[in-house]
Structure 1
Amino acid sequence: MPDTAMPDEDPAAALERQLEERRLKQETKNERQVWYFLAYFLFGIHIIAFVMIYAVRHAK
C-alpha cells in the first residue's frame, strides 16, 4: 500500500488515516460476506421448500 502522506503531515496522523482506510476496506469485505451468506441461506431455504412440496404432492 503506497504511502500517500502529505509532506507536512505528522506520522501519527498518517498512521491513523492508514488504519481508518484499512478498517473501512475490512468493513466493506465483511458486509459483502454477510450479503453472500444471506443469499445462500435464502436460496437453500427455497430448495428445501420445493423438495418438500414435491414430496408432499407425490406421496402415495
Structure 2
Amino acid sequence: MPEEPVPEPADTASPEQRRLVQEKKNERIVWYYLAYFLFGIHIVAFVMIYAVMHAK
C-alpha cells in the first residue's frame, strides 16, 4: 500500500501566507534589478569619463 504524500507547506498555507511569501520573493527580485541597474550606470559613467579624459 503506497503512503500518502506529505503536503508541501505552500499547499497547506493560507492564501495570506502564500501572498506574503510571493511578495517577499518579488521584493527581492526588484532589489536585484535595482542593483544591476545601478551597477550598469556606474560602468557606463566610468567608460564615458575614460573616453572624455583620453579624447584628443
TM-score range, shorter chain: 0.7 to 0.9
1:22 maps to which residue? 18
Extract structure 1 runs of 4+ deviating beyond 6 A: none
Question: Where in structure 2 are the equivalents of 1:37-48 lying within 5 Å?
Answer: 37-48=33-44
TM-score scaled to structure 1, two decimals? 0.72
Tell me the matched-pair count.
47
Q: CA RMSD in A?
A: 1.3
Give the whole-Å Cα distance in 2 for the aligned partners of 1:57 and 1:31.
39
Give the whole-Å Cα distance in 2 for the aligned partners of 1:29 and 1:18.
17
State the AA in 2 paired with 1:41: F
TM-score scaled to structure 2, two decimals? 0.77
